[in-house]
Amino acid sequence: MRKFILFMFFLNISILMPLQAAEDMDEKIRAINRPSTTSEALKQYSTDSNWEVRKAVASRQTTPGNLLIELSSDPEYKVRAAVAHNLRAPREALQPLVNDSSTDVRLSLAHCGYTPPDILDKLVNDPDAGVRKQLILNPNLNMKTLRAISEGKSENATAASLMLKKRESGQ
């Protein structure tokens, strides 16, 4: 009987502990998203052991630039991708993401309509075809760069040429 009680006790703990952790994470993310959350609290959350909490900090539009710079070197690629999508991310946060080891991070950078043109220019020779294709669709890409791609021999020359014509006609 004792073994059964102990078994049930540990079974309940093994079921309840992950649920408690999930509830804690959800509560932290709700706190991060509250308008009243201070920069000091965001700083604390930015070093949380859970990557989803750090991603919530990186996604928040009012996260201070210095925290976004720190989060741009986070070990979890989803956090770095959130930095790339943050319209308030300073140049210093975006710059290292150009050479990120994760294709998803570079894809996020190429996709975001707020990425500065000079940073987009650095993705022109990205090793991933998807990143290069997404780059052509970005409205912030320099016309000069778009023209150079369209005149080149890359797999995206035709798409770049079409996008160039569309942008030149004002569509």
Q: How does pLDDT run across 37-84, given as a tens digit for each residue?
A: 999 999 999 999 999 999 999 999 999 999 999 999 999 999 999 999
How far apart CA 110 and CA 8 sit, in angstroms, is: 52
Question: Which tokens in the block code for residue 15?
Answer: 């079921």
Q: How does pLDDT run across 110-167, given as a tens digit for each residue?
A: 999 999 999 999 999 899 989 989 999 999 998 888 888 888 777 777 877 888 788 8
Amino acid identity of residue 108, one-letter, is: S
How far apart CA 30 and CA 56 sit, in angstroms, is: 9
pLDDT of 87 above 80: yes
How far apart CA 152 and CA 33 sit, in angstroms, is: 45
Task: Please report the pLDDT score of residue 22 as a whole number.
Answer: 47
CATH code for the domain defined by 40-168: 1.25.10.10
How far apart CA 49 and CA 51 sit, in angstroms, is: 6
Domain ranges (residues) in the chain: 40-168
The pLDDT-based confidence of 23 (bands split at 50, 70, 90) is low
Check residue 95 and report its DSSP letter. G
Instruction: Give me the numbers of helices (H) and strands (E) for the chain, helices first please.
Output: 11, 0
